[in-house]
């Protein structure tokens, strides 16, 4: 018999339903709850499993300890308290050397085309602003978390009528969701950003608040510390298979650092394997492939002595190339997605500098004339968790194995949405439905319905 979720039915936040207002109420209650939990932190810490110890069973197993997996673990424990349910995060590389979360550029914006993505960004921004209350580990000698949330906004540019109409349509959706965004004519942009070339532009869309960038590593670090204090077990192990029967799965096979394969029994299992989520799904052997794969993206750091100043937003050129400031001292980071034909080989994370010289620099120098004179100082590559059908999150129960929950495929906007994605996963497990933001249109079932794909137009 699989173990049951102990005392889940007594879950204290049951009354909150379907709105950001409810989310705020939930947050307050969970904060009070959090204080009680913190008082018994030390007991929990002593009892937590070590990173090498593989438990025989766990109420919830989460595959992947990046931001999405860690956020799901956080909400599950934050809502239920220590001892109520056991949550184990399986992570094959606790240094996160190839994880998408730690290699991302940490951008957050409300300027999406779909309502769900806008609402998730607003939720994250509120969470980030109150990060100390959410993720502080009390009674410890650690400093309260600081994400270095820099709210300089995004400036997204359109260079033709069609792109301008698309910005206008998205703007209406964003405003109806409560985002503070403003459409700007080229003359207005020139006034506000004198360093910008605007004579070939039709329109711009600028985020007035809650947009910018933060440090994803600091968020992951804070989540992991808080999770451990709540009794979440992080185990270094690689998932290598599942034990399934028709329509059901309740064991996962994992390989520990000594190469031994062991089994863990679970009630729920969350696939939070980021770019490798498609591979993990394949191990189930079912007939529902998950359209998520790693796609390599480069980030270049360059110096420009007389570039845009400290009020520089994250700018997205009509040709898809983006840049933003990186700290002080005239440093910037930039990137851009290749075309399908240019997609680089994913075997290694080696950087191709010719992509910068040939594809990005001419576009940057056209948009900001000061960027004619720059020096590339550094670069790195990471993998997007790319959903190759509609570039949007896939969340919800697996159609064949309902014990498995997807939380994958954000395609380049997963760090900013990890907190609400994790919350949604916890609601599915504890309440069997969404209570804060309704993400049901992002379920796997959309791929089984004609015309059901949920394209996010604003992906860079
Ligand atoms: C260059 C770049 C820039 C980006 N910029 C942004 C941005 O500005 N804003 C934004 O919101 N998003 C951005 N993203 C996207 C974002 O990083 C991802 O959407 C997000 O980090 C996904 O989080 P995750 O936890 O699902 O995946 P990950 O962080 O990749 O975590 C998945 C984890 O699963 C583990 N794992 C995989 N398979 C197994 C297995 N079999 N067994 C055990 N463990 C396993 C991996 O080791 C990994 O640590 C960017 C990504 C890149 C690469």
Cα–Cα distance for residue pair 212/108, rounded to 1 Å: 5
User: Partners of 383 in the beta sheet?
Assistant: 296
Nearest-5° Cα angle at 373, 369 to 379: 110
> Would you say the CB of residue 318 lies under 6 angstroms from ligand 1?
no
* CATH class name, domain 154-211+295-384: alpha beta
> Would you say the CB of residue 391 lies under 6 angstroms from ligand 1?
no
- Which of 104, 378, 379 has most ligand 1 atoms within 8 Å of its beta carbon, as the pocket-test mutant? 104
Q: Which two tokens stand for residue 112?
A: 């999406």
pLDDT of residue 84: 85
- Which of 63, 273, 280 has most ligand 1 atoms within 8 Å of its beta carbon, as the pocket-test mutant? 273
Cα–Cα distance for residue pair 270/398, rounded to 1 Å: 10
> Would you say the CB of residue 297 lies under 6 angstroms from ligand 1?
yes
Distance 99 CA to ligand 1 centre (A): 5
Give the distance, in angstroms, between the CA of residue 105 and the centroid of all CA atoms in the same chain: 11
Give the distance, in angstroms, between the CA of residue 330 and the centroid of all CA atoms in the same chain: 28
What fold characterizes domain 14-105+216-291+389-448?
FAD/NAD(P)-binding domain (3.50.50)
pLDDT of residue 144: 75
Question: Looking at ligand 1, which residue's alpha carbon is closest to its atom 51?
Answer: 104
pLDDT of residue 458: 77
> Would you say the CB of residue 100 lies under 6 angstroms from ligand 1?
yes
Q: What are the Cα distances from residue 152, in Å, to 12, 30, 111, 209? A: 38, 30, 14, 8
Question: Looking at ligand 1, which residue's alpha carbon is closest to its atom 26?
Answer: 274
pLDDT of residue 224: 96
Q: Which two tokens stand for residue 198?
A: 């605007």
User: Partners of 329 in the beta sheet?
Assistant: none
Residue 451 CB burial class (10 angstroms; 0-12, 13-18, ≥19) = exposed
Q: How many CB atoms lie within 10 A of CB 135?
A: 24
> Would you say the CB of residue 68 lies under 6 angstroms from ligand 1?
yes
> Which residues lie closer than 8 Å to 141 by C-beta, 6 or more apart?
none
What angle do the packed helices 67-80 and 216-230 form, to 10 degrees? 30
3-class SS of residue 378: strand
Nearest atom in ligand 1 to the alpha carbon of residue 411 is 19
Distance 90 CA to ligand 1 centre (A): 14
> Would you say the CB of residue 238 lies under 6 angstroms from ligand 1?
yes
pLDDT of residue 24: 35
Provide DSSP, 343-358.
PPP-SS----HHHIII
Cα–Cα distance for residue pair 239/439, rounded to 1 Å: 27
Distance 224 CA to ligand 1 centre (A): 15
Cα–Cα distance for residue pair 87/227, rounded to 1 Å: 10
Nearest atom in ligand 1 to the alpha carbon of residue 102 is 29
Question: Looking at ligand 1, which residue's alpha carbon is closest to its atom 12?
Answer: 413
Distance 100 CA to ligand 1 centre (A): 3
Cα–Cα distance for residue pair 75/124, rounded to 1 Å: 13
Q: Which two tokens stand for residue 173?
A: 């959706």
> Would you say the CB of residue 272 lies under 6 angstroms from ligand 1?
yes
Nearest atom in ligand 1 to the alpha carbon of residue 298 is 1
pLDDT of residue 19: 28
Where are the strands (E) in 131-217, listed by range? 154-158, 181-184, 203-207, 212-213
Q: What are the Cα distances from residue 394, in Å, to 278, 306, 386, 447? A: 11, 43, 11, 10
pLDDT of residue 52: 80
* The residue to which tokens 């709210």 are assigned: 151
Distance 164 CA to ligand 1 centre (A): 31
Nearest to 395 by CA among 426, 431, 439, 429: 439
> Would you say the CB of residue 276 lies under 6 angstroms from ligand 1?
yes
Question: Looking at ligand 1, which residue's alpha carbon is closest to its atom 4?
Answer: 104
> Would you say the CB of residue 360 lies under 6 angstroms from ligand 1?
no
Do residues 274 and 414 make contact, with C-beta atoms less than 8 angstroms apart?
Answer: yes
Nearest atom in ligand 1 to the alpha carbon of residue 297 is 1
- Which of 51, 62, 64 has most ligand 1 atoms within 8 Å of its beta carbon, as the pocket-test mutant? 64
Distance 64 CA to ligand 1 centre (A): 9
pLDDT tens digits for the chain (460 residues)? 333 443 222 222 222 222 222 333 333 434 444 444 444 444 344 444 467 899 999 999 999 999 999 999 999 999 998 778 999 999 999 999 999 999 999 999 999 999 999 999 999 999 999 999 999 887 677 777 899 999 999 999 999 999 999 999 999 999 999 999 999 999 999 999 999 999 999 999 999 999 999 999 999 999 999 999 999 999 999 999 999 999 999 999 999 989 999 999 999 999 999 999 999 999 999 889 999 999 999 999 999 999 999 999 999 999 999 999 998 899 999 999 999 999 999 999 999 999 999 999 999 999 999 999 999 999 999 999 999 999 999 999 999 999 999 999 999 999 999 999 999 999 999 999 999 999 999 999 999 988 777 777 777 7
Do residues 427 and 80 make contact, with C-beta atoms less than 8 angstroms apart?
Answer: no
Nearest to 223 by CA among 423, 25, 21, 429: 423
Do residues 210 and 109 make contact, with C-beta atoms less than 8 angstroms apart?
Answer: no
Domain ranges of the chain: 14-105+216-291+389-448, 154-211+295-384
3-class SS of residue 407: strand
> Would you say the CB of residue 211 lies under 6 angstroms from ligand 1?
no
Nearest to 77 by CA among 406, 423, 414: 423
3-class SS of residue 334: strand
Where are the strands (E) in 129-202, listed by range? 154-158, 181-184
Nearest to 199 by CA among 366, 4, 377: 366
pLDDT of residue 460: 73
Is the CA virtual torsion 305, 308, 313, 315 positive or negative? negative
pLDDT of residue 50: 65
Q: How many CB atoms lie within 10 A of CB 50?
A: 9
> Which residues lie closer than 8 Å to 115 by C-beta, 6 or more apart?
173, 176, 177
Do residues 263 and 418 make contact, with C-beta atoms less than 8 angstroms apart?
Answer: no
Q: Is the ipTM of this complex over 0.95?
A: yes
> Would you say the CB of residue 122 lies under 6 angstroms from ligand 1?
no
> Would you say the CB of residue 107 lies under 6 angstroms from ligand 1?
yes
């Amino acid at each position: 018999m699989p173990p049951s979720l102990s005392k889940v039915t007594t879950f204290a936040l049951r009354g909150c339903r379907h709105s950001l207002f409810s989310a705020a109420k939930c947050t307050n209650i969970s904060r009070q709850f959090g204080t009680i939990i913190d008082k018994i932190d030390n007991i929990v810490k002593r009892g937590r499993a070590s990173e090498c110890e593989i438990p025989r069973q766990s109420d919830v197993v989460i595959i992947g300890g990046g931001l999405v997996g860690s956020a799901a673990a956080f909400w599950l424990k934050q809502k239920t308290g220590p001892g109520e349910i056991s949550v184990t995060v399986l992570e094959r590389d606790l240094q996160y050397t190839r994880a998408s979360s730690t290699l991302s550029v940490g951008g957050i914006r409300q300027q999406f085309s779909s309502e769900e993505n806008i609402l998730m960004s607003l939720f994250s921004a509120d969470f980030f602003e109150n990060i100390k209350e959410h993720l502080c580990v009390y009674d410890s000698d650690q400093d309260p978390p600081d994400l270095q949330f820099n709210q300089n906004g995004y400036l997204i540019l359109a260079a033709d009528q069609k792109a301008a109409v698309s910005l206008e349509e998205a703007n209406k959706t964003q405003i109806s969701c409560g985002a503070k965004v403003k459409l700007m004519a080229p003359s207005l942009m020139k006034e506000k950003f004198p360093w910008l070339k605007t004579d070939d532009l039709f329109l711009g869309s600028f985020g007035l608040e809650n947009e910018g960038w933060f440090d994803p590593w600091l968020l992951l670090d804070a989540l992991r510390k808080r999770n451990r204090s709540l009794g979440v077990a992080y185990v270094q192990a690689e998932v290598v298979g599942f034990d399934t029967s028709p329509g059901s799965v309740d064991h996962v096979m994992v390989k520990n650092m000594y190469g031994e394969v062991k089994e863990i029994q679970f009630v729920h299992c969350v696939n939070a394997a980021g770019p490798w989520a498609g591979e993990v799904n394949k191990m189930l052997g079912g007939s529902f492939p998950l359209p998520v794969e790693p796609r390599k993206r480069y980030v270049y750091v360059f110096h420009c002595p007389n570039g845009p100043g400290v009020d520089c937003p994250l700018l997205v050129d009509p040709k898809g190339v983006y840049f933003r400031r990186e700290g002080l001292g005239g440093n910037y980071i930039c990137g851009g997605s290749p075309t399908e034909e240019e997609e680089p080989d994913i075997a290694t994370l080696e950087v191709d500098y010719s992509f910068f010289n040939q594809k990005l620099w001419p576009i940057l120098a056209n948009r900001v004339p000061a960027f004619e004179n720059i020096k590339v100082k550094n670069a790195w590559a990471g993998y997007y968790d790319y959903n190759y059908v509609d570039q949007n999150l896939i969340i919800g129960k697996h159609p064949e194995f309902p014990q498995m929950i997807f939380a994958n495929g954000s395609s380049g906007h997963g760090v900013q949405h990890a907190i609400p994605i994790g919350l949604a996963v916890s609601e599915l497990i504890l309440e069997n439905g969404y209570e804060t933001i309704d993400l049901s249109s992002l379920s796997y079932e959309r791929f089984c319905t004609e015309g059901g794909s949920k394209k996010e137009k604003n992906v860079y």
